[in-house]
């Protein structure tokens, strides 16, 4: 499995209308978050809120 094949498989499997999949190395993602001032705890809190709302959406 190459990184390119993995990204292709993820793109095929995880397809949410209106949201683009972005695959970057974890360390780069973390460095980008630190450089832009994003706080991982804040992001986790918002993600949990989104998860609760998404669970109520009918398919």
Q: What is the pLDDT of residues 7-59, one digit of tens each?
A: 889 888 888 888 888 888 888 888 887 888 778 888 899 999 999 999 998 87
Q: Is 44 part of a structural domain of the chain?
A: yes
Task: Look up the domain containing 33 and give its range.
Answer: 3-54
The structural domain count of the chain equals 1
DSSP track, the chain: --HHHHHHHHHHH---TT-------HHHHHHHHHHHT--HHHHHHHHHHHHHHHTTS--
Quote the pTM value.
Answer: 0.41
Tell me if 59 is assigned to some domain.
no
Note whether residue 9 is domain-resident. Answer: yes
């Amino acid at each position: 499995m190459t990184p390119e094949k993995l990204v292709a498989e993820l793109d095929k499997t995880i397809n949410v209308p209106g949201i683009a999949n972005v695959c970057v190395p974890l360390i780069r993602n973390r460095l980008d978050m630190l450089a832009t001032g994003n706080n991982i705890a804040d992001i986790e809190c918002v993600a949990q809120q989104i998860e609760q709302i998404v669970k109520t959406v009918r398919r």
